[in-house]
């Protein structure tokens, strides 16, 4: 794994930092001062290229090589290192005698190194998975060759078993198997063997089209998926199950193996989501009916309130006509206004007490 970096950040305002101002002033704040800052960045590049981003200056040949890179003599370069690592400038860190680095480079390297370790681990895990899948496929192939079920002797595609009986003798001769009747599979023993055979071909084709497993093992790969057809949730159909399984296979890669636990979990998740969606759709008519009933009830309530209000106003008007002497001229005017507007409450506030008085009499 690579132990240095090709890049590190450089802030645009770095030259205004007090450390660089100090460095330039120590070299006269002239061309030599700016040259010193430029040499620092060149030195920083050398540190970034060194192993673990740590520049080893314990050997004279390393000192000479770096001095040559910076266009300096060994003596001047040694002085330059002392200035950079000194307390006043403090741009260079001596992590151990003769071993130097800088804060910016080390921070960048630490971050990059962590990412490289994660990427390496991910690659190694992926490689182990591929090797494991390859080994599993070899085992599956060996197991399939040892089985004598009809599904392993004949290629099934879609819902048709092409030439099953006609090719039986030929297949037996090629595989040198006994010509005696072959044992029936669990699918042939089911009440709906034709449907089971169709499902078998469907699942095998999915493995061939969406994974690198061209000849899936019956026990390991196929039967766990066929179980989804055995217990189809209420309100779902075989077509729904087919779609859920197909959707899960479409997420796989033809270049990689298959984690059956992950695949089965994904299929189950799709089936559950489909079931919930169907149930929600079934609820829609009921919810719509409930909404319509609520609207109807509200309309009925409005009509009932309106009818009650009209009835009450008629009672008030009859009482006013029969007992007009109980009301002042102002009250009569107000009542007529309320009756016209249909304002039952203020009208009742005036007339109800008088109606109660008459009832008492």
State the pLDDT at residue 69: 93
State the pLDDT at residue 280: 86
Residue 169 is encoded by which pair of tokens?
A: 């003798």
Bridge partners, 234 (sequence order): none
Contacts of 83 (CB under 8 A, 6+ apart): 23, 26, 36, 89
Residue 189 lies in a domain: no
Residue 220 lies in a domain: no
Instruction: Centre a 10 Å sphere on the Cβ of residue 88 and count the other Cβ atoms it contains.
Output: 12
∠ Cα 157 159 162 (to 5°): 60
Residue 250 lies in a domain: no
State the pLDDT at residue 163: 46
Listed residues 144, 175, 205: the one ending a domain? 144
Q: For residue 106, give Cα distances in angstroms to 3, 7, 255.
A: 11, 11, 39
Residue 83 is encoded by which pair of tokens?
A: 């200035």
Cα–Cα dist 4/47, whole Å: 9
Q: For residue 252, give Cα distances in angstroms to 136, 162, 259.
A: 17, 29, 10
Cα–Cα dist 44/264, whole Å: 54
**Model's pTM, two decimal places?**
0.38
Contacts of 24 (CB under 8 A, 6+ apart): 33, 34, 36, 37
State the pLDDT at residue 196: 64
Q: For residue 175, give Cα distances in angstroms to 76, 145, 154.
A: 84, 9, 12
Listed residues 144, 176, 206: the one ending a domain? 144
State the pLDDT at residue 46: 96
pLDDT per residue of the chain (361 residues) written in tens, 0 to 9: 788 999 888 888 888 999 999 999 999 877 888 999 999 999 999 999 999 999 999 999 999 999 999 999 999 999 999 999 999 999 999 988 999 999 999 989 888 888 888 878 877 777 676 566 555 555 444 444 444 333 443 343 444 434 444 444 444 444 444 443 433 333 333 334 444 678 888 998 998 888 888 888 999 899 999 999 988 998 899 899 999 999 999 888 887 778 898 899 999 999 999 998 988 888 888 888 888 888 988 899 999 988 998 999 999 999 999 999 999 999 999 999 998 988 889 989 999 988 888 765 4
Count of the separate structural domains present in the chain:
2
Question: Would you say 122 and 27 are in contact if contact means Cβ atoms under 8 Å apart?
Answer: no
Domain range for 306 is: 299-360
Residue 120 lies in a domain: yes
The residue ranges of DSSP E strands in the chain, in sequence order, are 55-56, 93-96, 99-101
Listed residues 144, 176, 211: the one ending a domain? 144
Residue 94 lies in a domain: yes
Residue 229 lies in a domain: no
Cα–Cα dist 24/36, whole Å: 7
Cα–Cα dist 215/183, whole Å: 21
Tokens 């559950």 -> residue: 272
Question: Would you say 72 and 39 are in contact if contact means Cβ atoms under 8 Å apart?
Answer: yes
Cα–Cα dist 34/32, whole Å: 6
Q: Following CA atoms 131, 133, 136, 140 in sequence, which dihedral angle do they give, to the nearest 10 degrees?
A: -130
């Amino acid at each position: 794994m690579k132990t240095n970096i090709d890049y590190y950040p450089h802030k645009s305002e770095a030259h205004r930092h007090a450390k660089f101002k100090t460095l330039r002033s120590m070299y006269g704040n002239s061309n030599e001062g700016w040259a010193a800052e430029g040499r620092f960045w060149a030195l920083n590049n050398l540190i970034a290229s060194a192993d673990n981003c740590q520049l080893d200056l314990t050997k004279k040949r390393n000192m000479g090589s770096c001095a040559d890179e910076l266009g300096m003599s060994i003596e001047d370069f040694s002085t330059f290192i002392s200035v950079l690592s000194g307390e006043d400038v403090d741009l260079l860190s001596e992590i151990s005698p003769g071993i130097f680095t800088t804060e910016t480079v080390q921070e960048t390297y630490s971050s990059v190194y962590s990412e490289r370790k994660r990427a390496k681990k991910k690659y190694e895990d992926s490689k182990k998975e591929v090797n494991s899948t390859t080994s599993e496929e070899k085992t599956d192939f060996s197991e399939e060759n040892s089985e004598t079920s009809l599904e392993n002797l004949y290629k099934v595609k879609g819902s048709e078993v092409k030439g099953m009986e006609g090719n039986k003798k030929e297949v037996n001769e090629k595989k040198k198997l006994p010509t005696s009747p072959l044992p029936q599979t669990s699918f042939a023993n089911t009440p709906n063997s034709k449907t089971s055979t169709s499902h078998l071909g469907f699942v095998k084709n999915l493995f061939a089209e969406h994974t690198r497993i061209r000849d899936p093992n019956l026990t390991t790969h196929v039967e766990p998926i066929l179980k989804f057809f055995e217990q189809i949730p209420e309100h779902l159909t075989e077509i729904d199950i087919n779609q859920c399984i197909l959707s899960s296979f479409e997420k796989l890669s033809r270049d990689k193996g298959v984690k059956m636990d992950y695949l089965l979990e994904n299929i189950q998740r799709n089936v559950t989501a489909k079931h919930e969606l169907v149930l929600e759709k079934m609820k829609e008519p009921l919810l719509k009916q409930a909404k319509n009933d609520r609207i109807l009830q509200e309309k009925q309530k409005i009509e009932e309130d309106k009818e009650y209000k009209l009835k009450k106003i008629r009672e008030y008007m009859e009482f006013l006509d029969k007992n007009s002497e109980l009301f002042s001229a102002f009250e009569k005017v107000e009542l007529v206004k309320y009756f016209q507007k249909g304002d039952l409450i203020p009208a009742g506030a005036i007339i109800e007490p008088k109606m109660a008085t008459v009832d008492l009499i």
